[in-house]
Structure 1
Amino acid sequence: MHITVEVHAIESPRMIINSDAPDIDSLLLESTVINAKISGIIADITIQQKYVYKGSSILDGALLMPGDPSITIHGCTVKIGNQTIKAEMKDREKVREIFDKAKKKFDPFFLTINNPDAIQMHLSNIQPGSIIYTEIHYTEMIKPSFGLYTISLPKPIQAHYLKVLDYVPLHRDTYADTSFEAVKDYPLGTLQVHAFIAKGGKLSFLKADECSIQQTDQEASCTYSVADAAQSKQISLSYRFADTEPQANLMLYEEGKEKFFLLSVNPPSIAEAHKESLGHEYIIVCDSASLQDNSANEFWKAFSKGLREQDKLNILHFGPENTRLDEESQVCTKDIISRAGVYLQRIHSTEGLEPIQLIDVLQQIQLKPLHSDMASRSIIILTNGFMDANTDVYDAITKQLQDANVFTLAVGKEINERFFSAVHRLTMTDNFILKGSQEELNKEAIRFADYIQKPSLTKLKVGFDGFDVNSLEPASYPDLFSDRPVLLFGKYKGNPKGRIVITGFHGNKEFVQTIDITLLKPLASTKGLQYLWAKQRASILIDYNVYDRNNDRVKEITKLGMKYGFQTPYTSFGITGSDYNKSKNVIALMYQPLNLNGGTLVSNASGQQLARTSVVEVEAACNYADAAAHDEEGLISVESIMTERVLDNTIIEKVRSTIEQQLSGMQECYAEALKKFRHLQGNVQLLFIFNEEGSLTEISLADSELNIEEVEQCMIESAKRISLPPMIQGMAQISFLLEVL
Structure 2
Amino acid sequence: MPYLPARAVATLRLLFATLLLAPLAAQAQAEPDGDNSQSPYFSVHSDDPANDRLPLKSTQVRARVLGVIADVTVTQHYRNEGSRPLEAQYVFPASTRAAVYAMQVRIGERQLNASIREKQQAKQEYEAGKLAGKTSALLEQHRENVFQMNVANILPGDEVAVELHYTELLVPTDGVYRFVFPTVVGPRYNGALATGSGTAEPWIATPYQCTAATTDAVGAAAIDESAPVFDLQVQLATPTPVRELVSPSHAIDIDKGADNQSRVRLAAATTIANDRDFILDYRLAGDRIESGLLLSKGSEENFFLALVAPPKAAPSQLIVPREYLFVVDISGSMHGFPLDTAKVLLQRLLAGLRPSDRFNVMLFSGSSSLLAPDSQPANADNIARALTLLDTEMGSGGTELLPALRQALAVPGDQERARSFVVITDGFVTVERDAFELVRKHLDQANLFAFGIGSSVNRQLIEGLARAGQGEPFVVLDKASAAEQAERFRRMIDAPLLTHVQARFEGLDTYEVEPPALPDLFAQRPLVLFGKWRGEAKGRLLIEGQQAGGAYRVELPIRADQAQAENQALALLWARHRVASLTDQETLEGDFAYSQAILDLGLKYHLLTPYTSFVAVDEVVRTAPGTSPAATPQPLPLPQGVSPLAVSPLTVGAAVPSTPEPSTWAMLLIAALGGLLLHRRGPRGAGGTV
TM-score normalised over the length of structure 2: 0.50
Larger radius of gyration: 1
TM-score, normalised with respect to structure 1: 0.47
